Amino acid sequence: MKINKFLLLALLIVPITLVFLTNTNEEVQNEEVNIYTSRHYDADNFLYEQFTKKTGIKVNIISGKGSALIERLKAEGINSPGDVFFTVDAGNLANFQKQGFLQSIQSEIIKQSVPVELRGENDEWVAVAKRARVIFYNPELVSEGEIKDINYEDLASDVWKNGVAIRSSSNMYNQSLVSSLISNLGIDETEKWAKGLVSNFARKPQGNDRSQIMAVANKEASIAIANTYYIGIMLSGKGGKEQLNAAQKVKIAFPNQNNRGAHINVSGGGVLKHSPNRENAEKFLEFLLSEEAQVHIVNNTFEYPVLESVKPHPIIESFGDFKMDKTSIADFGKYNPEAVKLMDRVSWQ
């Protein structure tokens, strides 16, 4: 029987084409990104799922405290499967950079999305969300006139004697605040300020940021320093009825509005030094800076967006616009060792 030569050619091509498609699918299925994270937000799981849906890249999560992740990376060395480090606070990101665990980000999309003051040195890490560290006050104890034009520097004044609630010096948020002051005022002036602040403590530093806000609501302190996103959690009801009631009793004052602006810190990420999936790592960071991801972040963590096109959660937006300090967040890591020593010298427990 004669076989048409064109049919024979087609039969020979089909198997080859099928093999090519099979291999391509296997390659897509094998695409992955390994994220080392010390964030503890359930809302991040949605981000991982959406990234996989959009790109086909599987997300593997390795979570733990920053110190534990550092030890893991040291043990893994050049064979580490880690691609992305994702965490809160510029101080933590800078610490990973100092330890040599990060590499420069190459993506122009990321650089165009994130202002230079919200990037680490050599673009080794970037912000994906912002949080302001501001002053909370009880309007039954503090008048609007007393608080209206307040600066961080004013918290060392005798006006606030036995009136200030704040977390311990071991808290990275406070270390970064002190680092920002060192960047702007110098070590000597910041140390004088810190000494005055400690003398104004209403109580021994204890608890988390929500505890400080609760102390103000309960009139254990007149004012407190805490991050804005905590009041968002409390006012949303996610922290329970007691926290909701407390949050409704306090107001916010944004410091330094007549000069450099309120202190800003971040959540952010970077590409790990020995990333085996470097391209996927940058794709993930690009995704976090997309409008879709930014909207999800601000609506679930109550942080401020990095993208100007995205609005904060309505609760956070209700506090109004304010001037943000544009001190480079890279300085928070640069001055962190000096900040820790300084806080110890002034007996900030």
Q: Is residue 4 part of a domain?
A: no
pLDDT of 27: 44
pLDDT of 23: 33
pLDDT under 50: residue ranges of the chain: 1-29
CB 198 within 8 A of CB 347: yes
**Same domain? 138 vs 254:** yes
**Same domain? 238 vs 194:** yes
Supply 24's token pair.
Answer: 């391509």
> Is the sign of the CA dihedral 20, 23, 29, 34 positive or negative?
negative
Q: Is residue 50 part of a domain?
A: yes
**Same domain? 233 vs 104:** no
Q: Is residue 1 part of a domain?
A: no
Residue percentage of the chain with pLDDT more than 90: 88
The angle formed by the CA atoms of residues 79, 84 and 89, to the nearest 5 degrees, is 130
pLDDT of 41: 83
**Using alpha carbons only, how large is the chain's radius of gyration in Å?**
24
Q: Is residue 115 part of a domain?
A: yes
pLDDT of 2: 44
**Pick from 168, 312, 308: nearest CA to 235:** 312
Helices marked H in the chain: 5-30, 44-55, 66-76, 90-98, 108-113, 144-147, 172-185, 187-199, 209-217, 228-236, 241-247, 278-288, 291-301, 314-317, 330-334, 336-345
Q: Is residue 27 part of a domain?
A: yes
What CATH number has the domain bearing residue 269?
3.40.190.10
pLDDT in tens, 31-75: 999 999 998 888 899 999 999 999 999 999 999 988 899 999 999
Q: Any idea which residue has 């498609």 for tokens? A: 21
**Same domain? 71 vs 44:** yes
- The chain-wide mean pLDDT, for the chain, equals 91
**Same domain? 224 vs 116:** no
**Same domain? 169 vs 198:** yes
pLDDT of 40: 82
Phi and psi at residue 293, to the nearest 5°: -70, -40
Q: Is residue 3 part of a domain?
A: no
CB 128 within 8 A of CB 110: no
In our burial notation (b when 16+ CB lie closer than 10 A, e otherwise), range 127-158 reads bbbbbbbbbbbbeeebeeebbeebbbbbbbee
pLDDT of 8: 36
Question: Within 13 Å of residue 104, how many CA atoms lie on the same side as its CB?
Answer: 6
Q: Is residue 208 part of a domain?
A: yes
**Same domain? 210 vs 118:** no
**Pick from 115, 137, 82, 2: nearest CA to 281:** 82
Phi and psi at residue 150, to the nearest 5°: -70, 145
**Same domain? 157 vs 238:** yes
**Same domain? 244 vs 233:** yes
**Same domain? 100 vs 175:** no
The structure's pTM equals 0.88
> Distance between CA atoms of 271 and 282, rounded to whole angstroms?
7
**Same domain? 252 vs 119:** no
Split into its structural domains, the chain has a count of 2
Range of the structural domain that residue 48 is part of: 9-130+265-312
> Distance between CA atoms of 331 and 260, rounded to whole angstroms?
15
**Same domain? 80 vs 195:** no
137 forms beta bridges with 223, 251
pLDDT in tens, 157-198: 999 999 999 999 999 999 999 999 999 999 999 999 999 999
Q: Is residue 81 part of a domain?
A: yes
